[in-house]
Chains A and B, each alone.
Chain A
Amino acid sequence: MLFNSLEFALFLPIVFALYWFVCNKNLQLQNTFLLVVSYFFYGWWDWRFLSLIIFSSFVDFFVGKQLGKEEEEGKRKIYLWISILINLGFLGFFKYFNFFAQSFADAFTLFGMPFEANRLNIILPVGISFYTFQTLSYTIDVYKKQLKPCNDIIVFFAFVSFFPQLVAGPIERATNLLPQFFKKRAFDYLKAKDGLRQILWGLFKKVVVADNCARIVDVIFSDPNAYGGSTLFIGALLFTFQIYCDFSGYSDIAIGTARLFGFNLMQNFAFPYFSRDIAEFWRRWHISLSTWFRDYLYIPLGGSRGGTAMKIRNTFAIFLVSGFWHGANWTFIFWGALNAFYFLPLLLTNRNRNNIGVVAEERLLPSLRDGINMFATFILAVLAWVFFRSDNLTLAFEYIGGIFSVSLFSVPTILPFLTLALIAFLCLIEWLGRAQQHALEVFLLKWPRLLRWTFYLFLILTVVQLGQKEQSFIYFQF
Chain B
Amino acid sequence: MKSFLKDTLLFIAFLLTYFGLNYGINQYFIQLSSPQIEKRILIMGDSHIEASIDPTAFPSAISVAQSVEPYFISYWKLKSIMHKSKIDTLILGFSYNNLAESYDDVLHNLWCLEMFKRIYPIAELNTLKGLKIKWKEYGLRKFKNMCIAPRPNHVFYMGDFSGLDSTKNNLDAYLANVSRHFSKSDGTNFGVSSTSVEFLNKIVAFCQTNNIKLILVGTPLHEKYRENIPSNFEESYAELINTFQKKGVTIYNYSEAVFTDTDFFDVDHLNIKGAKQFTASLIRNNF
The chain A residues found within 8 Å of chain B, CB to CB, are 6, 20, 187, 189, 192-193, 196, 453, 456-457, 460-461, 464-465
Instruction: State which of A6, A196, A464 has its C-beta within 8 Å of the C-beta of B148.
Output: A464
CA distance A461 to B19 in the complex (A): 10
B156 within 8 A of A: no
Interchain CB contact under 8 A, A193 and B1: no
Task: Report the minimal beta-carbon distance from B2 to chain A, rounded to whole angstroms.
Answer: 9
Which residues of B sit under 8 angstroms from A20, Cβ to Cβ?
A: 1
B58 within 8 A of A: no
Task: Report the minimal beta-carbon distance from B109 to chain A, rounded to whole angstroms.
Answer: 15
Which residues of B sit under 8 angstroms from A192, Cβ to Cβ?
A: 4
Closest to B143 in A: A464
Which residues of B sit under 8 angstroms from A196, Cβ to Cβ?
A: 8
| Residue-wise interface mask of B (9-24) relative to A, using a CB-CB cutoff of 8 A (1 in contact, 0 not) | 0010011001000000
Interchain CB contact under 8 A, B1 and A187: yes
Which residues of A sit under 8 angstroms from B14, Cβ to Cβ?
A: 453, 457
CA distance A453 to B149 in the complex (A): 17
Instruction: State which of B1, B11, B15, B148 has its C-beta within 8 Å of the C-beta of A465.
Output: B148
Which residues of A sit under 8 angstroms from B136, Cβ to Cβ?
A: 6
Task: Report the minimal beta-carbon distance from A103 to chain B, rounded to whole angstroms.
Answer: 37
Interface positions of B from 139 to 189, Cβ below 8 Å from A: 140, 143-144, 148-149
Main SS of the interface on chain A? Answer: helix
**Given A453-B14, A460-B15: A193 and B7 within 8 A (CB)?**
yes
Task: Report the minimal beta-carbon distance from A83 to chain B, rounded to whole angstroms.
Answer: 40
Instruction: State which of B4, B7, B8, B144 has its C-beta within 8 Å of the C-beta of A187.
Output: B4
> What are 13 contact pairs spanning A and B, CB under 8 A?
A6-B140, A20-B1, A187-B1, A187-B4, A189-B4, A453-B11, A453-B14, A456-B11, A457-B14, A460-B15, A465-B144, A465-B148, A465-B149
B126 within 8 A of A: no
Interchain CB contact under 8 A, A189 and B143: no
The chain B residues found within 8 Å of chain A, CB to CB, are 1, 3-4, 7-8, 11, 14-15, 18, 136, 140, 143-144, 148-149
CA distance A464 to B15 in the complex (A): 13
CA distance A409 to B255 in the complex (A): 57
Smallest CB-CB A-B distances: 9 pairs: A187-B1, A189-B4, A465-B148, A189-B3, A192-B4, A461-B148, A453-B14, A6-B136, A465-B144
Instruction: State which of A6, A189, A460 has its C-beta within 8 Å of the C-beta of B1.
Output: A189
| Number of A-B contacts defined by CB within 8 Å | 27
CA distance A460 to B12 in the complex (A): 12
* 7 further contact pairs, Cβ within 8 A, besides A196-B8, A460-B15: A20-B1, A189-B3, A453-B11, A456-B11, A457-B15, A464-B148, A465-B149
Task: Report the minimal beta-carbon distance from B138 to chain A, rounded to whole angstroms.
Answer: 12
CA distance A453 to B12 in the complex (A): 10
CA distance A301 to B1 in the complex (A): 48
Task: Report the minimal beta-carbon distance from A179 to chain B, rounded to whole angstroms.
Answer: 24
Which residues of B sit under 8 angstroms from A187, Cβ to Cβ?
A: 1, 4
**Given A453-B11, A460-B15, A464-B143: A193 and B4 within 8 A (CB)?**
yes
Closest to A196 in B: B8
Which residues of B sit under 8 angstroms from A464, Cβ to Cβ?
A: 143-144, 148
CA distance A453 to B16 in the complex (A): 13
Task: Report the minimal beta-carbon distance from A7 to chain B, rounded to whole angstroms.
Answer: 9
Most buried by A among B3, B11, B136, B149: B11
CA distance A300 to B101 in the complex (A): 66
CA distance A461 to B136 in the complex (A): 18
CA distance A189 to B4 in the complex (A): 6
Which residues of A sit under 8 angstroms from B149, Cβ to Cβ?
A: 461, 465
Which residues of B sit under 8 angstroms from A193, Cβ to Cβ?
A: 4, 7
Which residues of A sit under 8 angstroms from B8, Cβ to Cβ?
A: 196
CA distance A187 to B4 in the complex (A): 10
CA distance A192 to B6 in the complex (A): 13
CA distance A456 to B14 in the complex (A): 11
Task: Report the minimal beta-carbon distance from A120 to chain B, rounded to whole angstroms.
Answer: 27
Which residues of A sit under 8 angstroms from B7, Cβ to Cβ?
A: 193
CA distance A192 to B1 in the complex (A): 9
Which residues of B sit under 8 angstroms from A460, Cβ to Cβ?
A: 15
Closest to B139 in A: A6
Which residues of A sit under 8 angstroms from B4, Cβ to Cβ?
A: 187, 189, 192-193
CA distance A173 to B144 in the complex (A): 41
Task: Report the minimal beta-carbon distance from A24 to chain B, rounded to whole angstroms.
Answer: 9
Task: Report the minimal beta-carbon distance from A467 to chain B, rounded to whole angstroms.
Answer: 9
CA distance A457 to B3 in the complex (A): 20
Task: Report the minimal beta-carbon distance from A4 to chain B, rounded to whole angstroms.
Answer: 12
Task: Report the minimal beta-carbon distance from A272 to chain B, rounded to whole angstroms.
Answer: 31
Which residues of B sit under 8 angstroms from A6, Cβ to Cβ?
A: 136, 140
Task: Report the minimal beta-carbon distance from B286 to chain A, rounded to whole angstroms.
Answer: 46
Closest to B18 in A: A457
CA distance A457 to B11 in the complex (A): 9
Task: Report the minimal beta-carbon distance from B125 to chain A, rounded to whole angstroms.
Answer: 18
CA distance A456 to B11 in the complex (A): 10
Task: Report the minimal beta-carbon distance from A106 to chain B, rounded to whole angstroms.
Answer: 37
Which residues of B sit under 8 angstroms from A457, Cβ to Cβ?
A: 14-15, 18
CA distance A124 to B148 in the complex (A): 38
CA distance A460 to B14 in the complex (A): 12
Which residues of A sit under 8 angstroms from B18, Cβ to Cβ?
A: 457
Task: Report the minimal beta-carbon distance from B113 to chain A, rounded to whole angstroms.
Answer: 8
Closest to A260 in B: B4
CA distance A187 to B14 in the complex (A): 24
CA distance A235 to B136 in the complex (A): 32
Which residues of B sit under 8 angstroms from A456, Cβ to Cβ?
A: 11
CA distance A6 to B135 in the complex (A): 12
Task: Report the minimal beta-carbon distance from A242 to chain B, rounded to whole angstroms.
Answer: 23
CA distance A277 to B272 in the complex (A): 63
Task: Report the minimal beta-carbon distance from A453 to chain B, rounded to whole angstroms.
Answer: 6
Closest to A450 in B: B14
CA distance A456 to B8 in the complex (A): 12
CA distance A350 to B3 in the complex (A): 51
Closest to A5 in B: B136
Most buried by A among B1, B18, B149: B1
CA distance A20 to B1 in the complex (A): 9
CA distance A456 to B3 in the complex (A): 19
Closest to A187 in B: B1
Closest to B7 in A: A193
Task: Report the minimal beta-carbon distance from A442 to chain B, rounded to whole angstroms.
Answer: 17
CA distance A6 to B139 in the complex (A): 11
Task: Report the minimal beta-carbon distance from A269 to chain B, rounded to whole angstroms.
Answer: 26
